[in-house]
Amino acid sequence: MKKHTLLYTSLLFAALFLVSSCTESEELAEKNYQLAWQDEFDGPAGQLPDEKNWSFDIGTDWGNQQLEYDTDRAENVSLDGNGNLAIIARRESFAGSAFTSGRIKTKGLFEQTYGRFEASIKMPWGPGIWPAFWLLGSDIDEVGWPQCGEIDIMEYRGQETNLIHGSIHGPNYSGGEAITKSYGLADNRFDKDFFLYAIEWTEDYIDFFVNEEHYQRISREDAPGEWVYDHPFYIILNVAVGGNYVGFPTDQTPFPQTMLVDYVRVYKEAN
């Protein structure tokens, strides 16, 4: 997928988005977004992601029974020299784990309340591979999870190459009780090309998109618990190996596995 223009206008959204009601169409068409933050991942192969934009989570498990050890090595997270970020899961013994991978975040560097968050990503694949593009509430250290809120713009099970999932987690609707919906491809796979994954997040709802197709709206009144999406969130990109969401890798899971990210961009409404 080619890089998109940096300014989304109301006319562009009205032309591209397929929505299910007149009210929803009007709400989408009214938005006039301006770029607030971006990383295009330009640079030489092997270079670490820009430290002004990203820091590393280093360690293992993260509460999901993941098997990989996430490192800050270029072998796991680096630019590929072709305008992409590569997050690479490897089968190797490291710090007591059988796999390595990467998990980067904008915590303390960039956080925003509301707006459009998008990334162009080409997936890895295989049983037990779990890539994600997601947001966490910046108050997680004070209130904990899920009170901080979590927005999964894209999650993917590597054994289901034609499906992605968009979800939110909050108090009384987290983990297996998250509010979620899947988006499927009829005759393609998410590991064969770059796809654009996005949310548009407002005071009253969060809309989910794949390649500009709107497939889910979660509104404030849909939450069976407190709506915890009225404060800043930060971005996370990672590739997990194993975990309670995807199960274990198998002998048929090839390694290394790479998630390529063409860009990440965040917009805010001009008005």
DSSP character for 173? B
DSSP character for 49? P
Catalytic status, residue 40: no
Catalytic residue among 26, 155, 203, 221: 155
Whether the CA torsion 127, 265, 208, 106 is positive or negative: it is positive
Catalytic residue among 27, 68, 111, 150: 150
Which residues on neighbouring strands pair with residue 129, listed in sequence order?
241
Pairing type for strands 233-241 and 103-105 reads: antiparallel
Between CA 80 and CA 72 the distance in angstroms is 16
8-13's contacts with Cβ under 8 Å and 24+ in sequence apart are: 8/32, 8/33, 8/116, 8/267, 9/33
Tokens 């899961």 correspond to: 89
Q: Pull the structure tokens for residue 186.
A: 């009829």
Question: So which residues are the catalytic ones?
Answer: 150, 155
